Structure 1
């Protein structure tokens, strides 16, 4: 009880600090005011901004599983417990992606909270804390727009990067729900050390490429195998009179640990394939469809999934969100919950760790929610709250939920965000 009260006190203290900051800050603080007649270099460093956010939530489970875990959920994995998911600070200088000249910037972001357990990089932050609340460098990258190869140029990002695949991002502002889809947790990568480029071939066509050390790995003994991995894909923009965008992104390379597969880990390929289509039906209604297929040679595992989204801004400050998913785990090796605070990264490294899993299962999930978002005052920070209800079910008769007692699971809750 004392531990729970201490955690709630920490959350209250963090909220108080953010509110205090927002009361004296704009949505993104310019650290240095622009001066008339400033040189190009002065204009560059005067455009550096500081932003912050805090996100906390809860997913309640009336079934009260004995192990306290909402199966198939990373972000809201602890049933019936409030937690601080993220307290993040971002220092950045944005690049001009439309410039005909060079444009350089950077993004530095540190995040503290329960979400960080799943976004570490081996050898950088994964062994720093063993508590539920951990800290990561979620971004540490240089950004550049380069007038090379094509008339529209190239955008390049290098360093510690968030993985680009799929619509559900680490930043809670960039996804519609507090919880993630199965696809967003088990069939797309999370974070990299490497480089990503976007080649703007025409206003309609972008070519996407990248190379990195692997999903959430770094170098040497902190790489779970000795081979790199990479991306290739294409984005089609401004289709259907500017209403439709389609992105196909594939990833390929070894991702399994040599501690598990031995030398085979360096040659056992994993193929990730994701197609995302976003269509703006009206100015207030957007529909999104995602198809994903993953195959792992080393684990001899496959997953296939389809996720549909609908977003309807039905009133000022209010948005209704729907997500429906069918996800097939053909071997039961991919959908796993990790039962300790360091368990996920121990799994990436190939170290033994306690887990909860299920036999081969076809999962169906539906999530409904409403987002209320508003500015705290004119041009100041924002506040958002996102209640949601979620229904998960096995569609082939297995019982993966609530300590393997049930074929279905009902959870409800959501999160609140505040930032500047």
Structure 2
């Protein structure tokens, strides 16, 4: 491809998302316990304003191909997806700025007939079903498994080796979850991924992805010299099955062990999506999540509390004892055709009920066994 042809394939996009998550119990601290997206009860938020410049790599190319992704994000969601040492100190208020993706990409005709794909730079975590981009997930809110048992952002490199038309090997190395280099890393050791993905199975109806991850994630401020050797082990298995042309079932099984905190979590999330019409999809999510110490599931009460806690600094937080959480979320995605320069318009209402299944009272200022929230967000893409 010529330089002119390569430049002509660079794309530009923008997207805006805002929402509100109502809580009829009106917690005194103003926070919906255990939720990151839509964490402020009864307060409308600008979740994301994003701008993206990208050149997609042809992963099926027979030769070399190169591209990149550069994405900037401003909004309330940035508080939980920041990278220490890069953007975490840029804006300390409710609405913050991050670069959730800033990486170079390459397709290399190496090792197998289908080649090797590489991404290097600032990367979103590949683990789990739900992602930061609201258009890729069925609900405004996130599952406990997503928030507390999968990483969010990395500085490093990810590799995808294409074995054949169905199976790929995945592996990578990075500085840790939401850390960078030097003073931007909360410890002095690296972490990394390994796993596989299978697509187009069972006549094209089944897709399976397993990702494991090993590396120390706790701060030296918290564990001292022990931090570099105290490994966190993440395991995440995702299975998606197309039951019919309209109905899709997805399951996520997650197990995490943190040797530094001596903590374990276990989660299972199930999703159902039914395409009622070409523009309307009905969604279900059910989850059971066990935090066996009470050290993992946490609400962060200030705008900088999450990143301060990541680095082992004092932070305004609220936690419950060891708890088994159950959560049921029902919602819909309405995505009508718009035109007039608008590439995407969607509205997603949801109703969610969370409950402690072992009698603890984590919700609404640690007063209640359960919590109802009613959320809705709107996304515009250009």
Partner of 1:235: 197
Partner of 2:55: 93
Provide the C-alpha distance between the structure 2 equivalents of 1:53 and 1:401, rounded to a whole number of angstroms: 33
- 1:168-220 CA-partner distances (Å, limit 9, x unpaired): 00000111100000000000000000000110011111000000000000111
Match among 150, 156, 159 for residue 112 of structure 2: 150
Q: CA deviation at 1:380?
A: 4.2
Partner of 2:46: 84
Provide the C-alpha distance between the structure 1 equivalents of 2:354 and 2:15, rounded to a whole number of angstroms: 30
Partner of 1:121: 83
Match among 271, 276, 291 for residue 314 of structure 1: 276
Q: CA deviation at 1:374?
A: 2.1
Provide the C-alpha distance between the structure 2 equivalents of 1:267 and 1:382, rounded to a whole number of angstroms: 46
Partner of 2:350: 388
Partner of 1:160: 122
Provide the C-alpha distance between the structure 1 equivalents of 2:36 and 2:250, rounded to a whole number of angstroms: 23
Partner of 1:49: 11
Q: CA deviation at 1:401?
A: 0.2
Partner of 1:136: 98
Matches within 5 A, 1:392-411: 392-411=354-373
Partner of 2:137: 175
Provide the C-alpha distance between the structure 2 equivalents of 1:218 and 1:110, rounded to a whole number of angstroms: 17
Q: CA deviation at 1:129?
A: 1.1
Equivalent pair of 2:342/2:381 in contact (CA under 8 Å): no
Provide the C-alpha distance between the structure 2 equivalents of 1:280 and 1:97, rounded to a whole number of angstroms: 24
Provide the C-alpha distance between the structure 2 equivalents of 1:274 and 1:311, rounded to a whole number of angstroms: 21
Q: CA deviation at 1:283?
A: 1.4
Give the secondary structure class of the aligned counterpart of 2:178: coil
Q: CA deviation at 1:387?
A: 0.2
Q: CA deviation at 1:40?
A: 1.5
Partner of 1:419: 381
Give the secondary structure class of the aligned counterpart of 1:351: coil
Provide the C-alpha distance between the structure 1 equivalents of 2:340 and 2:128, rounded to a whole number of angstroms: 33
Find out whether 1:305 has 2:267 as its counterpart: yes
TM-score, normalised with respect to structure 2: 0.99
Match among 229, 241, 251 for residue 279 of structure 1: 241
Find out whether 1:346 has 2:269 as its counterpart: no
Q: CA deviation at 1:316?
A: 2.1
Provide the C-alpha distance between the structure 1 equivalents of 2:43 and 2:316, rounded to a whole number of angstroms: 21
Matches within 5 A, 1:162-311: 162-311=124-273
Provide the C-alpha distance between the structure 2 equivalents of 1:400 and 1:326, rounded to a whole number of angstroms: 15
Q: How many residues align?
A: 382
- 1:278-316 CA-partner distances (Å, limit 9, x unpaired): 001111111000000000000000000100000010112
Partner of 2:297: 335
Provide the C-alpha distance between the structure 2 equivalents of 1:347 and 1:199, rounded to a whole number of angstroms: 36
Partner of 1:111: 73
Equivalent pair of 2:342/2:380 in contact (CA under 8 Å): no
- 1:114-133 CA-partner distances (Å, limit 9, x unpaired): 00001111111111111100
Q: CA deviation at 1:350?
A: 1.1
RMSD: 0.9
Give the secondary structure class of the aligned counterpart of 1:260: helix
Provide the C-alpha distance between the structure 2 equivalents of 1:331 and 1:382, rounded to a whole number of angstroms: 42
Q: 1:134 to 1:383 in 2, by over 3 A?
A: same
Please list every run of 5 or more consecutive structure 1 residues that lacks an aligned counterpart in the other structure. Answer: 1-38
Provide the C-alpha distance between the structure 2 equivalents of 1:378 and 1:115, rounded to a whole number of angstroms: 28
TM-score, normalised with respect to structure 1: 0.90
Q: CA deviation at 1:378?
A: 6.9
- 1:357-385 CA-partner distances (Å, limit 9, x unpaired): 00000000000001001232177421100
